[in-house]
Amino acid sequence: MDADRRKVLQHLASLCAVTLAGPAGAAAESAGAALPVDQFAALSARLTGHPASDPSVAAKLLAALATPARSSSLRQLAALVFVTPDEQLDSALHAHGFDAIANELVAAWYSGVVKNRDGEQIVLYTDALVWTAMTFSKPMGLCGGAFGYWSDPPQ
């Protein structure tokens, strides 16, 4: 738990540094700089309740979500989420108008699908969190075990 706390503090410090950087920080924000992958993974874990299975999985989803229109919102969402206690998170998201981006991020992790201006893009399939939530099923095309495993009732 201490390592997680340390990471959160490091993320907060880096967000503060970008904010305090003045014109250089403003230029980076206007350019639509995305969150670093480790911050995105920490934000995602906080909102979904599940850590990313692999940093490359988080990187794929971040690349799809971090459009110029969303990058600033993701950074602001991360800043809010990292400083808000669990019991106040829902009300803080609502009060700051981050319901939509938070729901979009969680939906993308669970479904593996990201909506962009060109339509929907499948980013994750076997790594989508729906398979973690639906313990009685598995992604189509993946073997569930040795021959005959399906004869045993789900656990």
- Of 28, 42, 50, which Cα lies nearest the Cα of 77? 42
Q: How confident is the model at residue 142 (pLDDT cuts 50, 70, 90)?
A: low
d(CA 99, CA 5) in angstroms, rounded, equals: 25
Domain assignments of the chain as residue spans, ordered by start: 2-125
Q: What is the pLDDT of residues 89-141, one digit of tens each?
A: 999 999 999 999 999 999 999 999 999 888 888 888 788 888 777 777 766 66
More confident residue, 38 or 142: 38
d(CA 37, CA 109) in angstroms, rounded, equals: 14
Q: What is the pLDDT of residues 30-80, one digit of tens each?
A: 334 578 999 999 999 999 999 888 899 999 999 999 888 888 899 999 999
Token pair of 29 as six digits: 């924000």
Token pair of 126 as six digits: 């076997």
d(CA 130, CA 48) in angstroms, rounded, equals: 11
